[in-house]
Chain A
Amino acid sequence: MTTMPATPLLQVQGLRTVFETRAGRVFAVDGVDVTVNPGECLGVVGESGSGKSVTFSSVMGLVRAPGRIASGSIRFEGRDLRALSPPDMRKIRGRDIAMTMQDALTALNPALTVGEQILEVLYAHDETLPEGRIMARRRAARAKAVEMLELVGIASAGDRLQYYPHEFSGGMRQRIMIAIALACRPKLLIADEPTTALDVTIQAQVLELIADIRVRLGMSVVLITHDLGVVSEYCDRVMVMYAGQVVEEGPTASVIQNPQHPYTRGLLQSIPRLSLRGQKIKPIEGQVPDLIDLPPQCRFYSRCSERLDACMNRIDMRELGDKRRARCIRLPEVKA
């Protein structure tokens, strides 16, 4: 870290999350550093299996056996989350850091009304609710739940509290999940592919909503996506992941206009565009490598058109200046 703007809200260093499988050890996340500053929106892009969801499940303490965090530190407002006891972690999860899942239909409990699911979070975490008097507490929580549903743009929210998840459309369910995540005004919202299952017009509604609430509540957002268009429109900074590692990182506009890592370049060239009609798009040949017992080499080696023999060695992230970093030996390192 050369430049340190303020104290980061979330700082992950050297995170390794492994899954022990019968076939061998899978390094789903292998040495990932993440910094999220207060109020910023960080985009995390990568294809399936790149480790983007596992990285943030690790942050939330949601990795279950056979997966485990092998090493690394996760600091939130300076506190080491890995050192916290499960009850202490539970106090942070949902209150200070909230996460919305990709598939709202499976993430919501089908047997509970959405009202019950929002109230659950409030009862667990909200200290402003009146203590002791049950009816007053319930009334206050209900009022808050209605307020949250209204915040995410659900009409006649008071009545809708009694509805079950299946009575809502896909876009509405995603918004309900956002309402649950935001119920305690978290400092950090991790949105895992919030719009992947949605149509473009609904996607625009949900993303505008997150952007709008982010400004109003002054929270930080991590937007996990595979869509570079979404990153380009909504994120301040972007982190590109490939096969469990971060390969490039920097301010969004600068990374997209001037990608440095061959993978980022390939990804940008792979996007079909109307303006490219008649020209060939250049797909990245080959496939993501199997993550079981990988050699220490550059993980993009097998697909890279610019590979060198030296790429067979271990490759570290390099500082490129202007807050940019990338993991490629062809790039000249800038000493701060």
Chain B
Amino acid sequence: MSENSNTPLITVENLVKHYGGRRGPISWATGKPPINIRALNGVSFEVRRGETLGLIGESGCGKSTLGRALLRLHEPTSGKVVFDGTEVTALKPDALKAMRRHMQIIFQDPYASLNPRRTVADIIGLPLMLHGLAANRREMRDKVAAIMDKVGLKTNHLDRYPHQFSGGQRQRIGIARALISNPQFIVCDEPVSALDVSIQAQIIELLTGLKRDMGLTYLFVSHDISVIGYLSDRVAVMYLGEIVEMGPVETVLSNPRHPYTQSLMSAVPDVDHPGKHQRVRLTGDLPSPQSPPPGCKFHTRCPLATDLCRVEAPPRHDLGDGHTASCHLIDDNVSILR
């Protein structure tokens, strides 16, 4: 499957997703402009074959929207997604459906993402039926049983319903459903965030093992830096609908260059070295994506913001070795960590 690990499996160019923005009855009646949420503002990146790209950011930064826009579960407003040479964003509905076989998603909430009225066999087997990968129910059940075994579920639980499983087991069902059509690429949308620490570790081990065995490529969306740091090859940091820093995970996390990444790193409590690093206390909350600030989006919370940051969006700086960061102050080599 991985012919050349340097050719990108997915190329994303200038992806934009705005929610709303259309005039509805309320905006007509009140005369107010319609609400327009700018979830993604021109995101460009590549996912290489066989890698895990970690996508990190706080709630509301657009990381889940990005994962879904890649699969066109949410239709992008503009921009281009190319998967293995095919432009996903230009596909007609039928071709898109066939394409989904190769690109799957694991959802965050193992309770909400499984139909409570379907048996596990039906839930996991649905992609097989949709894509015509099983000739009959018998074959479907055999294939479901095989994948259940692979993700660590008991095969005699085939006819149970989701409520008969614990959170960790349900997440395994979600994983089995994503894997059964033998995809190349999986968006993992916070797959371990709803789980307890000990169960979280089981699922992380499962996902890394499956990736190795099946030659998968992951886009791993999470707000947890330790999870991202543990299992990603490269990491992209998002803030208000933009990627502000990106690069190999060791480089970005041990030498973060964007002030936002720096503050994120310093905010994570460290089990092994409490009090080791100095805390940067960011003041305030994430600004509303309805009315993002002008210039650099981070300037309202950045302790180093200058007048330039308030008016002009920073360019993306190439720091070598695939490490990029978008900040006006990169050349000054400043840090908010002292």
Contact = CB atoms under 8 A, between A and B. Distances in A.
A273 B285 contact: no
B205 A280 contact: yes
B86 to A, nearest CB: 32
Interface residues of B, number: 41
Interface stretch (B8-16, B119-127, B275-283, B316-324): B275-283
Contacts of B204: 272, 281, 283
Secondary structure type dominating chain B contacts: helix
A233 B199 CA distance: 23
A272 B225 CA distance: 9
Secondary structure type dominating chain A contacts: helix
13 contacts: A199-B58, A199-B59, A200-B58, A204-B279, A204-B282, A229-B269, A232-B269, A232-B272, A271-B201, A272-B231, A274-B226, A274-B249, A274-B250
B230 A273 contact: yes
Contacts, number: 122
B91 interface: no
Looking at A270, A271, A272, A287, which has the most chain B CB atoms within 10 Å of its CB?
A272
Contact of B197 (A169, A204, A271): A271
Nearest to A171: B285
B284 to A, nearest CB: 9
A202 B268 CA distance: 11
B217 interface: no
A93 interface: no
Contacts of A274: 225-226, 229-230, 249-250, 253-254
Contact of B202 (A47, A273, A285): A285
Contacts of A233: 269-270, 274-275
A259 to B, nearest CB: 11
Interface in B281-309: 281-283, 285-286
Contacts of B59: 199
B183 to A, nearest CB: 24
B202 A229 contact: no
A270 B249 CA distance: 20
B271 A229 contact: yes
A48 B267 contact: no
Contacts of B84: none
A194 to B, nearest CB: 13
A304 interface: no
A205 B285 CA distance: 10
Interface of B: 58-59, 166, 168, 196-202, 204-205, 223, 225-227, 229-231, 249-250, 253-254, 263-264, 266-272, 274-275, 279, 281-283, 285-286
- Nearest first, the 4 A-B pairs at minimum CB distance are A274-B229, A272-B230, A229-B269, A283-B201
A329 interface: no
Given A200-B223, A281-B230, A230 B201 contact: no
B6 to A, nearest CB: 21
Contacts of A228: 197, 271
Interface residues of A, number: 43
Given A205-B281, A287-B199, A200 B249 contact: no
A274 to B, nearest CB: 3
B271 A271 contact: yes
Given A201-B282, A205-B282, A271-B197, A256 B271 contact: yes
Given A201-B267, A271-B271, A277-B249, A284 B201 contact: yes
Interface in A246-279: 252-253, 256, 266-274, 276-277
Contacts of B168: 287
Nearest to B209: A280
Nearest to B283: A205
B198 A266 contact: yes
A112 B253 CA distance: 44
Contacts of A283: 198-199, 201-202, 204-205
B201 A48 contact: no
A287 B170 CA distance: 13
A101 B285 CA distance: 21
B270 A229 contact: yes
Contact of B229 (A169, A199, A202, A277): A277
B323 to A, nearest CB: 16
Nearest to B206: A283
Interface in A148-185: 169, 171-172
